[in-house]
Each structure stands twice: as C-alpha cells, then as structure tokens.
Structure 1
Amino acid sequence: MSICSKRISVLHADLALAATLEAALPEFGGGRSVAQYRARFTGPHLCLVALVDGVPAAFKLGYALDDTTFYSWLGGVLPPYRRQGLAQLLLEAQEAWAAGQGYGRIEVKSSGRFPAMLALLARNGYQACGEHNGKILFAKPLSC
C-alpha cells in the first residue's frame, strides 16, 4: 500500500506516547521512561508523533540546547510503517517548529548503526561537523 492511500498526520504529543513508541522499536532495547525523558530536557522541548490512519507509527523528540540551538535527540518509525516518508515528515515538522521558535540551528548525532538516518540527514542538508562519543555530530542552520 502506498503512502498516497493512507491518511497521515503529524501532531504534538505527550511524552508517554513517545515512550510507548520507543519501547516498541527493536533497535532501542526497551526504551526509556517519561521520567528519563524529562531528566534530559533542560529547557523547552518538542514531542511529535506521526499517525497513519489514526494509529501512532513514529515519533521525534528534541529539546533546546541553548537559546539558539535545538537538539534533535531521539526518534523512530515502527517497522511496519518504515519507507513511507514518516521520518521525513517528522524532520520537516521539527525544523519548522524550531525555526518558528527562533532557533537558528539544529544539531543531531547519529552513527553508522542507523544508515537510514544518515541518508535522511544528508538528503536534508545536515553537515557533519564533529564527533562525540563515537557518534557523528551533524548540524543545519535554520531560516528564522
């Protein structure tokens, strides 16, 4: 079934839904709790969820590193919904929200363990700009 025949929406969601989705992703080994999410945030944060025909299928979490930089921290797409453009939609929604909030830059870390994520970042203009704890740091300036 193609993405054209499905109704897809991206919405702001609560952290409990993101935690449920993360726990269902085989790559993440069980996920984190809402309390662990909250402990990570030091300022404003954003939780987005993509619904396919009303069913939660993907999520993206990010938070402010400072007044000018937003960090795209964690996200994933449930296996049955992959290769349907959900990660792209979530990335675009996160970028638009961050730019609208006045952030001038988005940063994200990833590794070779997630080749689909690396390809997504490359397609969307993220540039490798360093390394941290074995992960590649990518950044993209935003138009505010």
Structure 2
Amino acid sequence: MDEKEKSEIIIRGGTIAEVLSISLAVPEFERPYGGDVYAERLQGKANLILVAEYVGKLVGFKVGYAIDEDTFYSWMGGVLPAFRRNGVAGVLADVQADWAKKSGYKKLFFKTRNRHKEMIRFGLKRGFMITDLVKKYPKEEFRIIMEKDL
C-alpha cells in the first residue's frame, strides 16, 4: 500500500456487528467471540469501538473499555491479513490512545499470548512494556500483559 492508498484508510466509530464481521476473517482468532461476549464486556463501561475502512471495505478493528478511571484496556483488535504491514493497526492504535488520553485515562494496557510474537513486537515498538505474565499451558498460551503511560 503506497502513501496515497494509506491516506484512503478511514478510521471511524464502529459497531459490534462490524467487529464480528472482521473478526471472522482474522486467522489468529480460532474461536472469535460472539456479539453476546462483546455486549457483556462493554455494558456499563466507557468504551470505544473503532473500525478501519479501505475503499469501503472493513479491514480492521480495535475495541477497548475502561477498567477504572485511570486505566483503559485495549481488549480486542485485528487487521485482515491482506492489509497488514500497511499501517492500519498503528493508525487504529494511535486513534485509540489519543481518545483514551483525551478522555483522561493515564494508562493503556493490553494482553496477548506468547504465541503472538508479532503482537508482542508491535506493543514494544509502540512504547508498551511487559508488566506481567499469566501462566497458561502450554507455554504458547501464556498471557503477556503490556502497558504504557499516556
């Protein structure tokens, strides 16, 4: 994707239905959550649902919610394989972080699994630090908790 094409990526508020349609096409999600899980997680919490569009096609998403008045959890996100390495995930992350900071949150965090090495690298490149590890077996399923100050 060249610079002109990157400028055609639109980030906007999205819906759970749009997130579900994208998540079904993200291969890392072996068993994507259903709408009921999203609704339950977001209910009664400050939250943000973002989607990325390219030429009218949904190509990525990012969903997060408040844990407390200082902490925003970047819960779920994904980009369709054909649109990776083109800055889509970074733009989604920037919009989410900017929104969280403007909304008064002081910390942003996410969890990933040990087997998602690209996500770990993505977090480190964006200024996140590994702050905790939750052991799940096999070791590829260990949860890596990453956070950064806003």
Is TM-score (shorter-chain normalized) higher than 0.5?
yes
Are 1:45 and 1:61, in contact at CA under 8 Å, matched by a contact in 2? yes
- Structure 1 residue 38 corresponds to structure 2 residue 39: yes
Segments of 5+ residues of structure 2 without an aligned counterpart are 136-141
In the alignment, which residue of structure 1 is the partner of 2:59?
A: 57
In the alignment, which residue of structure 2 is the partner of 1:88?
A: 90
Are 1:127 and 1:140, in contact at CA under 8 Å, matched by a contact in 2? yes
Q: Matched residues in 2 for 1:111 and 1:34: separation?
A: 22
Give the alignment of 1:113-132 within 5 angstroms: 113-132=115-134
Q: Matched residues in 1 for 2:110 and 2:55: separation?
A: 29
In the alignment, which residue of structure 2 is the partner of 1:14?
A: 15
CA offsets, 1:2-27, max 9 Å, x none? 23232111111111100111111121
Q: Matched residues in 1 for 2:2 and 2:59: separation?
A: 13
Q: Secondary structure at the match of 2:28?
A: helix
Q: Matched residues in 2 for 1:25 and 1:123: separation?
A: 22
- Structure 1 residue 5 corresponds to structure 2 residue 4: yes
Question: Which moved further from structure 2: 76-85 or 28-37?
Answer: 28-37
In angstroms, what is the RMSD of aligned CA positions?
1.3
Give the alignment of 1:91-110 within 5 angstroms: 91-110=93-112
CA offsets, 1:15-48, max 9 Å, x none? 1100111111121124122211011225111111
Q: Secondary structure at the match of 1:26?
A: coil
Q: How many residues of Structure 1 are paired with residues of Structure 2 in the alignment?
A: 141
Q: Secondary structure at the match of 1:28?
A: coil
Q: Matched residues in 2 for 1:49 and 1:90: separation?
A: 8
- Structure 1 residue 139 corresponds to structure 2 residue 140: no
Segments of 5+ residues of structure 1 without an aligned counterpart are none
